[in-house]
């Protein structure tokens, strides 16, 4: 299948691109390289540097490549930043998705996979969190993803588009020692902890230890990026069966303290940690119920162990201590 991957030079997008190429799909990557890294794009994919705000560029890409399907990763993705710059998230994420959808419809491309988020579930009534859980976006970022899910709902009703929205929990780990996580600025716990182990940071600050969890620190569902990638590919292959939303996680929760302790075991570094204030907007526990995905698509996580996830990330960080070339 010919697949257009927006944000295919980013952390999750580039991993999915590489897995699609391995599976024999023809891949076109669209990325503005604002956060992405051209070095992360598989050499067998076609790379186009373009911005989704540029509708003419989008039309040229569709005209030239005529994709059968779209995987949409390109977006602003930081919960905290979205509180400071709500218009960037509520306008750009949504308008860019509209540009993409309008062009897709014009070129009769009606298969769409959306990278959505667990930030739709700010006040879960039940843990683990199933896709049917009440939607309460936790930030302008979460709301922007929910708005795109709603756009897809209407694309299906009006144009017969088939879509899957995958709401992921905490993506982490590295697909190989050439594909890893390199954000600027880095805000995610696993790469930050590993930067301490590499001597690039002095210590890690734990954002609160007074949550209602077994050790007082937040519990998250850490899912290996390769397991995420497989879910995208399975969802793409199943799209003829109708549109779906799935929650996508490992199904197991680990606390911030457990993450740090596991990283200490793997790296052999003491990783000094201090307790800081809570980070606004952090729920105590987020763990996914991915049963629908397992049942309907036959997905199973291959790397559910936190030890394996952090080990893969560590191998990448050791090999690429400064990340991708800037």
Beta partners for residue 61, in sequence order = none
- Phi, psi values for residue 59, rounded to 5°: -65, -40
Question: Nearer Cβ to ligand UDP, position 110 or 220?
Answer: 220
Q: Which of 46, 60, 178, 205 binds ligand UDP (CB under 6 A)?
A: 205
Which residue reads 């014009």 in tokens?
106
Sole binder of ligand UDP in the list 45, 192, 229, 263 (CB under 6 A): 192
141 in active site: yes
Instruction: Measure the CA angle with vertex 143, ends 74 and 212; round to 5°.
Output: 110
Residues 101-140 that bind ligand UDP (CB under 6 A): none
Which tokens sit at 188? 């995610």
Q: Is 188 in the site for ligand UDP (CB under 6 A)?
A: yes
Q: How far is the CB of 192 from ligand UDP (least distance, A)?
A: 5
Question: Dihedral through CA 14, CA 164, CA 70, CA 92, nearest 10?
Answer: -80
Neighbouring C-beta atoms of residue 12, cutoff 10 Å: 21
Alpha helices (H) in the chain, listed in sequence order: 11-22, 55-65, 79-84, 86-87, 94-106, 140-159, 189-197, 225-237, 256-267, 291-297, 306-319
200: contact with ligand UDP by CB under 6 A: no
Residues in contact with ligand UDP, shown as a per-residue x/- string from 73 to 92 under the rule CB under 6 A: ------x-------------
- The pair of three-digit structure tokens given for residue 11, joined into one six-digit string: 């952390």
Is residue 46 a contact residue for ligand UDP (CB under 6 A)? no
Site for ligand UDP in 135-154 (CB under 6 A): none
Q: Which residues ranging from 231 to 290 are in contact with ligand UDP (CB under 6 A)?
A: 256, 279, 282
Which candidate in 11, 89, 141, 168 is catalytic?
141
Pick between residue 139 and residue 311 the one whose CB is nearest to ligand UDP.
139
Contacts of 75 (CB under 8 A, 6+ apart): 7, 93, 96, 97, 115, 144, 145
Give least dist CB 193 to ligand UDP, A: 8
Q: How far is the CB of 217 from ligand UDP (least distance, A)?
A: 7
Active site residues: 141
* Site residues for ligand UDP per CB under 6 A: 79, 170, 187-189, 192, 204-207, 218, 220, 256, 279, 282
């Amino acid at each position: 299948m010919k697949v257009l991957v927006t944000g295919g030079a980013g952390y999750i997008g580039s991993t999915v691109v590489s897995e699609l190429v391995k599976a024999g799909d023809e891949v076109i990557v669209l990325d503005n390289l604002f956060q992405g890294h051209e070095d992360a794009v598989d050499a067998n994919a076609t790379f186009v540097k373009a911005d989704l705000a540029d509708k003419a560029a989008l039309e040229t890409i569709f005209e030239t490549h005529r994709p059968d399907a779209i995987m949409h990763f390109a977006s602003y993705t930081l919960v905290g930043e979205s509180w400071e710059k709500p218009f960037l998230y509520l306008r750009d994420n949504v308008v860019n998705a509209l540009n993409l959808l309008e062009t897709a419809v014009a070129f009769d491309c009606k298969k769409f996979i959306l990278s959505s988020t667990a930030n739709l579930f700010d006040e879960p009534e039940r843990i683990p969190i199933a896709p049917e859980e009440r939607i309460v976006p936790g930030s302008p970022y979460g709301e922007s993803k929910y708005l795109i899910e709603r756009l897809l709902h209407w694309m299906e009703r009006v144009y017969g588009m088939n879509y899957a929205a995958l709401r992921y929990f905490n993506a982490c780990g590295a697909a190989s020692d050439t594909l890893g996580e390199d954000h600027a600025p880095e805000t995610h716990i696993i790469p930050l902890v590993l930067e301490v182990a590499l001597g690039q940071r002095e210590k890690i600050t734990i954002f609160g230890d007074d949550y209602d969890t077994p050790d007082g620190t937040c519990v998250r569902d850490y899912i290996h990026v390769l397991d995420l990638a497989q879910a995208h590919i399975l969802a793409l292959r199943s799209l003829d069966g109708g549109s779906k939303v799935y929650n996508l996680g490992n199904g197991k929760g680990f606390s911030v303290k457990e993450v740090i302790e596991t990283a200490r075991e793997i790296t052999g570094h003491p990783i000094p940690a201090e307790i800081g204030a809570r980070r606004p907007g952090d729920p105590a526990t987020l763990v996914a119920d991915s049963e629908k995905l397992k049942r309907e698509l036959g997905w199973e996580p291959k790397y559910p162990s936190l030890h394996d996830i952090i080990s893969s990330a560590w191998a990448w960080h050791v090999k690429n201590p400064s990340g991708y070339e800037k």
